[in-house]
Chain A
């Protein structure tokens, strides 16, 4: 079963779905069931791939495939996953059907009706292919290709659907430009590495591009550091980290909730995933060199993101800023292993890897729930809500659970990962770890205060609301529909299960983390001996 091309199938299924949605077939009119069907099929394939994956060797790349693709350039179609990549793929393909479900009813100002909805779902499926591909790619060129190509469907998903016309196209353009600039800078790095790599087939394979820097390779330490920066800038913009995070709140505010869930839940993980699987192995020395600055930036992201989240008036922006804070944690965990000491373990890295998965689940659910609220009320402003716990008790309950996951309540999986990151960071970087812990406190403030303002207290007088905006009265909002419940319930279930029994997930992410650290130690020690 391990020989079956699982990853290729994972890449193809959503594309077929998108083609069916686009093609002029009778199925076209049943966009929602078709999209959901393909998304669920993808999920099943992904679960089968998990079964085929040998967890006892999660630190190695499995389910690999390698074919020469562009011979002249030495580019290969090379896919393969280790535990982290597999976990992220499963998280992504879990989110997509839920996003489809969440789009079941039209949302947003423009509304996702008929043809628009069909195109939206087709784009989401195309995006799914790119997401799976980018986590599975083991060829740097292939990775880059998907990393950039991914922008186009997202660009349309933000620009065509969602909030106010002129503001959302501004947001789409801002998103695109930030990502494009980062990506193009990375392109220089990719080209430079490739040119200095071995000739012939397999030139861009990740494993063939390692070890090019330093005494053994054709590139000097200085060149290595510059190349690291080209990659890191692209990933930091994608992640997004302070100070290049400003595109995210705009995009999240204007995009439909489902798009935001995918954008923040999955796409932005590509940034941190890239730091982990490309920056560290390709540029070990430079990673160590840059780690102090990156750790500081990460801690700034944690606190600054949380503070800004507290101050937001718009719920979408609030969730976006909480993500900036969370991404700070993830980056902190990845780079906290430096400087490598003899006893440095993979705890922090494993924590970060697990954090990526959890954050996708938690933020995805949060965006969907906020989307439900906004769709009911017709306004994303917190001030337009109040006392909803009595009106929509189930929605309030779901919101509370998901909100608590965002502040890492013990018993939910997010707690495990955040704890691992802090524990892993503390021995070597006590001060950053202490400051980052402040982020946990601030998270309680932004989550609970948000909940308080939206759900608790009395329902404001309906007379106050007649301010000419034509918003539906708060007291008349209806509770979650069955479809919506199904869109969020699986995420909460997974977070609960992994919160009490994180073992299966940790079995996937720990070995790659240990592997990463031991490889780094080997390389850096060899460097130091010379």
Chain B
């Protein structure tokens, strides 16, 4: 930074994906203010879908443009080799790092937008219970006068859609920026809506609000640490853009203590977002408490954006510190894989199980981050593997959480109410609901990395990257951890398909006679009541089953015929 304010030249087409999403979010807020209640929901859903589809088109255009660029470009100072386009340039033609459009950006943005689109579809599905998963008045005490009033007025929560769009926009910038300040702003833009969304669950509301508060407090700490780290790095290098920081830190003679501290703080912020141990403690509580479609969105979207940002920070901003950072990344990767996988084993709640599973997956992705950019022909193997794994993970995660959102408890009267998240309630689900059960099994197999699913391709990619980067011990620990985690996933499969006699789903009559069924009507927020033993898949009044089917299909397709996708990602990264 020269201190002189250059008017940036903006390449609007490259900013378009982000602009479309954030613009739609702003419009969505206006719709909340000006549209009558009855029209809001339809308008918001339509707007969100249109915005995400529009963003996908814009990303496609950028992809096309980037493919036409000869690698490496003149401007390529930001990363070792490879193509990049710059959305913002100075008048003299110098690059500004605020928005970099390279392969990493495009793939991750496309992934985030697809995740957002699928999540919006799931959120909009009111199911046969005619309730969406969000509380109509979040601030109302469950069961209070306000609550009843809101219900009688037919109020519905529609602010979630602009909030999702804001978070999506934040994620898209987060993974696209090569500038610490922009990165911080993006981090906040993606986090704040998520804090809110986590607290909006219709049922088990106290748990949801607790999740929201926890997420907010811990997330704020992480953000604070991140910005403090950025400040220290700025203090040492005199810059916030990645290329200048890289240039300033390329010769690590006499490590500057402040730089090390600053970088560590930055990494803590990023590790928090990806959910790596020991910064993972928020994940189970937040994943469990948040409304399930939001959990799916958050689990998939945040992880994609944060991992791409992490890759960029480690390998673009700090190539000179590669050796020092690799110790850190190795340690965190090992601890994350082991802790995540072992913790998956002992969960009794499906959402917590998926939460710890996502922690374990973060560990597997970190093995590819540790592999690095490499040199020569293997230059992109690390980032490539990260993206492939995230693709497989995102598909299965969105699908799995959608299934969780549809598996409901059967109340005393036989109606379906809240989600049946306790694992015992899933017994025999594969028998009673063959299609949904089979899809969920596909997601579990993908998580476990069984061949012919996308998860295997992802696992193979990250372990190949790790081995080719000389990190074979990570790959070895990785496979052992996968085996442990696979045990946990197969326990769920066993439960769904071969329930023991006492776990068999009792039919409704038995439940009524058993007397152990607590009333879960209304929005009772307590989780301490004994839960009904049975669960059933609720019929949808939207496209949630379509999302499940699509995710399962893509998971299998990517497992059997991954060639095209892998090549496309590889080519755009070159």
- Chain A interface (Cβ < 8 Å from any Cβ of B): 68-73, 144-146, 148-149, 151-152, 155-156, 159-160, 165-166, 168-169, 172-173, 176-177, 180-181, 184-185, 187-188, 191-192, 194-195, 199
Report if B500 contacts A (CB, 8 A). yes
Report if B486 contacts A (CB, 8 A). yes
CB distance from B38 to the nearest CB of A (A): 41
The answer on a CB contact under 8 Å between B464 and A194 is yes
The answer on a CB contact under 8 Å between B479 and A187 is yes
Q: Which of B451, B497, B498, B563 contacts A148 (CB 8 A)?
A: B451
Q: How far is the CA of A67 from the CA of B563 in the complex (A)?
A: 12
The answer to whether A72 and B570 touch (CB under 8 A), given A156-B497, A187-B460, is yes
Report B-chain residues with C-beta under 8 Å of the C-beta of A73: 460-461, 464, 566
The answer on a CB contact under 8 Å between A149 and B450 is yes
Interface flags for B489-507 (1: CB within 8 Å of A; 0: not) read 0110010011011000000
The answer to whether A152 and B483 touch (CB under 8 A), given A159-B494, A166-B500, A169-B500, is no
| CB<8 Å pairs between A and B, sample of 19 | A70-B563, A70-B566, A71-B563, A71-B566, A72-B570, A145-B456, A156-B497, A159-B494, A159-B497, A159-B498, A173-B494, A177-B486, A180-B486, A184-B479, A187-B479, A191-B460, A192-B475, A195-B464, A195-B468
Report B-chain residues with C-beta under 8 Å of the C-beta of A159: 494, 497-498
The answer on a CB contact under 8 Å between B491 and A173 is yes
CB distance from B505 to the nearest CB of A (A): 14
The answer on a CB contact under 8 Å between A191 and B487 is no
Report A-chain residues with C-beta under 8 Å of the C-beta of B567: 71-72
Q: How far is the CA of A187 from the CA of B563 in the complex (A)?
A: 20
Report if B61 contacts A (CB, 8 A). no
The answer to whether A146 and B498 touch (CB under 8 A), given A70-B566, A71-B567, A72-B563, is no
The answer on a CB contact under 8 Å between A165 and B464 is no
Interface residues of B in 528-574 (CB under 8 A from A): 562-563, 566-567, 570
Q: Which of B377, B445, B452, B494 contacts A169 (CB 8 A)?
A: B494
Given contacts A70-B563, A176-B490, 7 further A-B contacts (CB under 8 A): A72-B563, A165-B498, A165-B501, A177-B483, A184-B479, A192-B467, A192-B475
The answer on a CB contact under 8 Å between B490 and A184 is no
Report B-chain residues with C-beta under 8 Å of the C-beta of A148: 450-451, 456
Report A-chain residues with C-beta under 8 Å of the C-beta of B242: none
| Cβ-closest chain B residue relative to A200 | B377
Interface flags for B472-486 (1: CB within 8 Å of A; 0: not) read 100110011011001
Q: How far is the CA of A188 from the CA of B445 in the complex (A)?
A: 19
> By CB atoms of chain B within 10 A, which of A159, A169, A185 has the most?
A169
Report if B463 contacts A (CB, 8 A). yes
Report A-chain residues with C-beta under 8 Å of the C-beta of B570: 72
The answer on a CB contact under 8 Å between A72 and B467 is no
The answer to whether A168 and B563 touch (CB under 8 A), given A180-B483, A184-B479, is no
The answer on a CB contact under 8 Å between A184 and B467 is no
CB distance from A212 to the nearest CB of B (A): 14
Report B-chain residues with C-beta under 8 Å of the C-beta of A155: 490
B interface residues, tally (CB under 8 Å)? 35
Report B-chain residues with C-beta under 8 Å of the C-beta of A151: 450
The answer on a CB contact under 8 Å between A188 and B463 is yes
CB distance from B474 to the nearest CB of A (A): 10
| Cβ-closest chain B residue relative to A119 | B434
| Cβ-closest chain A residue relative to B491 | A173
- Chain B interface (Cβ < 8 Å from any Cβ of A): 377, 445, 450-452, 456-457, 459-461, 463-464, 467-468, 472, 475-476, 479-480, 482-483, 486-487, 490-491, 494, 497-498, 500-501, 562-563, 566-567, 570
The answer to whether A160 and B450 touch (CB under 8 A), given A72-B563, A152-B445, is no
Q: Which of B457, B472, B482 contacts A184 (CB 8 A)?
A: B482
CB distance from B367 to the nearest CB of A (A): 11
Report A-chain residues with C-beta under 8 Å of the C-beta of B472: 188, 192
The answer to whether A169 and B498 touch (CB under 8 A), given A145-B451, A181-B483, is yes
Q: How far is the CA of A57 from the CA of B438 in the complex (A)?
A: 45
Q: Which of B451, B464, B482 contacts A149 (CB 8 A)?
A: B451
Q: How far is the CA of A71 from the CA of B566 in the complex (A)?
A: 8
Report A-chain residues with C-beta under 8 Å of the C-beta of B490: 155, 173, 176-177
Report B-chain residues with C-beta under 8 Å of the C-beta of A195: 464, 467-468
Q: How far is the CA of A146 from the CA of B451 in the complex (A)?
A: 7
| Cβ-closest chain B residue relative to A177 | B487
Q: How far is the CA of A71 from the CA of B475 in the complex (A)?
A: 22
Report A-chain residues with C-beta under 8 Å of the C-beta of B459: 187
Q: How far is the CA of A165 from the CA of B431 in the complex (A)?
A: 15
| Cβ-closest chain A residue relative to B562 | A70
Report A-chain residues with C-beta under 8 Å of the C-beta of B461: 73
Report A-chain residues with C-beta under 8 Å of the C-beta of B457: 70
Q: Which of B452, B475, B500, B566 contacts A188 (CB 8 A)?
A: B475
The answer on a CB contact under 8 Å between A184 and B480 is yes
Q: How far is the CA of A73 from the CA of B487 in the complex (A)?
A: 28
Q: Which of B460, B494, B501, B562 contacts A172 (CB 8 A)?
A: B494
Q: How far is the CA of A68 from the CA of B472 in the complex (A)?
A: 27
The answer to whether A160 and B463 touch (CB under 8 A), given A71-B567, A148-B450, A192-B472, is no
CB distance from A28 to the nearest CB of B (A): 14
Report A-chain residues with C-beta under 8 Å of the C-beta of B450: 148-149, 151-152
Report B-chain residues with C-beta under 8 Å of the C-beta of A70: 457, 562-563, 566
Q: How far is the CA of A194 from the CA of B460 in the complex (A)?
A: 11
Report A-chain residues with C-beta under 8 Å of the C-beta of B497: 156, 159-160
Q: How far is the CA of A159 from the CA of B430 in the complex (A)?
A: 13
Report B-chain residues with C-beta under 8 Å of the C-beta of A156: 497
Report A-chain residues with C-beta under 8 Å of the C-beta of B468: 195
Q: Which of A72, A146, A152 contacts B566 (CB 8 A)?
A: A72
CB distance from A511 to the nearest CB of B (A): 32
Q: How far is the CA of A72 from the CA of B387 in the complex (A)?
A: 14
